[in-house]
Amino acid sequence: MRKNGRKAPRGQRTQPVVSQLKLALGKLVRETLYETVLLSGLRYVAEVLETERAQVCGPRYRHAEGRSAYRSGHVGSSLVLGGRRVSVSRPRLRTTAGDEVVLPSWAVWSAEDPLEERAIEQMLVGVSTRKYGRSLEELPEVMVSRGTSRSAVSRRFVRGTAKKVTDLMERDLSGLDLKVLMLDGVHYVGEHVVVVAVGVDGEGKKQVLGLWEGATENQATCTALLESLVARGLRTDRTMLVVMDGSKALYRAVRAVSGKRALIQRCQQHKKRNVLDALPQNQRESVKRALNAAFQTEDPERAKRLLENLARSLEEQRPGAAAALREGLEELLTLKRLGLSGSRLERTLSSTNVIENLIGQVRQLSGRVKRWRSGRMILRWSAAGVLEAERGFRRLKGHREMAKLVAALQQHDATLDGAVPDGAVVAA
How far, in whole angstroms, is CA 204 from its chain's centroid? 18
User: pLDDT at position 75, please?
Assistant: 86
Q: Return the minimum-mean-pLDDT range out of 70-84, 134-148, 180-194.
A: 134-148
> Running DSSP on this structure, what letter comes out for residue 194?
E
User: pLDDT at position 377, please?
Assistant: 92
| Burial classification of residue 171, based on how many CB atoms lie within 10 Å of its CB (0-12 exposed, 13-18 middle, 19 or more buried) | middle
User: pLDDT at position 427, please?
Assistant: 40
When pLDDT is cut at 50, 70 and 90, the band that residue 348 belongs to is very high
Find the mean pLDDT for residues 202-225.
90
Find the mean pLDDT for residues 382-390.
92
How far is the C-alpha of 222 from the C-alpha of 183, rounded, in Å?
Answer: 9
**Across 245-348, where does the E strand assignment appear?**
262-266
- pLDDT, averaged across the chain: 85
Whether 346 shows a pLDDT value over 90: the answer reads yes
H-run or E-run covering 214: strand 206-214
Residue ranges per structural domain of the chain? 23-57+69-162, 174-416
| Burial classification of residue 226, based on how many CB atoms lie within 10 Å of its CB (0-12 exposed, 13-18 middle, 19 or more buried) | buried
Task: Give per-residue pLDDT as tens, 5-60.
Answer: 555 555 555 566 555 555 555 555 555 665 676 677 778 888 888 888 888 887 77
Whether 423 shows a pLDDT value over 60: the answer reads no
How far is the C-alpha of 69 from the C-alpha of 389, rounded, in Å?
Answer: 52
How far is the C-alpha of 201 from the C-alpha of 218, rounded, in Å?
Answer: 27
Whether 419 shows a pLDDT value over 90: the answer reads no
Strand order in the sheet with 206-214: 206-214, 192-201, 178-188, 240-244, 262-266
Does the pTM surpass 0.75? The reply is: yes
Task: Give per-residue pLDDT as tens, 276-317.
Answer: 999 999 999 999 999 999 999 999 999 999 999 999 999 999
User: pLDDT at position 425, please?
Assistant: 44
Helices (H), 60-197: 104-109, 115-124, 150-169
User: pLDDT at position 367, please?
Assistant: 86
User: pLDDT at position 12, please?
Assistant: 52
Find the mean pLDDT for residues 334-347.
95
Whether 189 shows a pLDDT value over 90: the answer reads no
Residue 104's alpha-carbon distances to 38, 88, 95, 124, in angstroms, are 22, 16, 15, 34
Q: Which residues of 305-323 are buried (b: 16+ CB within 10 A; e: fewer)?
A: ebbeebbeebeeebeebbe
Q: Residue 141 contacts by C-beta under 8 Å, 6 or more apart in sequence? A: none
Torsion angle defined by CA atoms of residues 30, 32, 33 and 37, in that order, rounded to the nearest 10 degrees: 140
Using alpha carbons, select from 40, 48, 58 the residue that is nearest to residue 106: 48
Find the mean pLDDT for residues 123-127.
80
* pLDDT above 70 coverage of the chain, percent: 87
Angle among Cα 114, 118, 119 to the nearest 5 degrees reads 115
Torsion-angle region of 182 (φ positive above 0: left; ψ -120 to 50: alpha; else: beta): beta
Find the mean pLDDT for residues 345-369.
92
How far is the C-alpha of 120 from the C-alpha of 158, rounded, in Å?
Answer: 9
Q: Which of 23-32, 69-78, 209-218, 407-416 reaches the highest mean pLDDT?
A: 407-416
